[in-house]
Amino acid sequence: MQSLVLEIVNAVATEAKLEQKHLAPLRVFVEHMVFSRLACACYRGTAADLDELNASWREQAAKMRELSLEEVGLPVEIPDEAKQQEIFGQAIAAFNQIPHLVPSSVLAAFMRAVCTLYREAKEGLGLDSSCISADVLLPLLVYVLSRCELPHLHSQVYLMEQYAIDESQDGSEAAYYLACLQAAMGYIIGNCAAEDTESQ
């Protein structure tokens, strides 16, 4: 799909004799045009699997909504005022705004949501971004994701992984956060599956 985008961008740029500074906006426009029209081609061969994963995700995430920061395993001290108030509201809203069609837009919105999560972790928990290792980030993601309305999260992750990461300027940073997101999703689904097994 990216080769089609690049081919169209190059053809339009050549035909219109565009300057280099106009290529980035043209690429964004063409990517939106292509993916919004041909999104089903992105999912060919995986649509049924993604539908099943998305359905399971919706069910399992709802079961985890009531867990506190302590219960998701946050390994830092949580201030009393943070326990009394609903924190991470802006991060939840940012994750809820992740689109589900154009891979670069999905990735850009995801990275903005991660930045919002970091900012709220600093404001609500006093955590500096340099102190947020994966051991801290994963429980924060579990807490936030379990409260989000992301019915197509597996599809969004698939788009980022298959079509956006390699083309991204964020590169390895985006790949790291995507891996953390997948680990948090795995925890939510695995934790709920373990609870279901224990209750039988």
| Banded pLDDT at 194 (limits 50, 70, 90) | low
Kindly state whether residues 69 and 147 are assigned to the same domain.
Answer: yes
Mean pLDDT, all residues of the chain: 87
Kindly state whether residues 180 and 192 are assigned to the same domain.
Answer: yes
Instruction: Give 139's contacts (C-beta < 8 A, 6+ positions apart).
Output: 69, 72, 73, 74, 75
Q: What is the pLDDT of residues 142-189, one digit of tens each?
A: 999 999 999 999 999 998 998 788 777 777 899 999 999 999 999 999
Kindly state whether residues 93 and 131 are assigned to the same domain.
Answer: yes
Q: Assess whether pLDDT exceeds 80 at residue 193.
A: no
Question: Which tokens belong to 146?
Answer: 């379990």
Kindly state whether residues 118 and 33 are assigned to the same domain.
Answer: no
Domain that holds residue 8: 1-42
Q: What is the pLDDT of residues 132-148, one digit of tens each?
A: 999 999 999 999 999 99
Kindly state whether residues 56 and 29 are assigned to the same domain.
Answer: no
Kindly state whether residues 38 and 50 are assigned to the same domain.
Answer: no
| Banded pLDDT at 191 (limits 50, 70, 90) | confident
Q: Assess whether pLDDT exceeds 90 at residue 24.
A: no
Kindly state whether residues 87 and 3 are assigned to the same domain.
Answer: no
Kindly state whether residues 10 and 93 are assigned to the same domain.
Answer: no
Q: Assess whether pLDDT exceeds 60 at residue 118.
A: yes
Total domains in the chain come to: 2
44's torsion region: left (phi>0), alpha (psi -120 to 50) or beta?
beta
- The dihedrals phi and psi of 151, each to the nearest 5 degrees, come to -65, -15
| Banded pLDDT at 197 (limits 50, 70, 90) | low
Q: Which helix H or strand E contains 49, and what residues bound it?
A: helix 47-63
pTM, 2 dp = 0.83
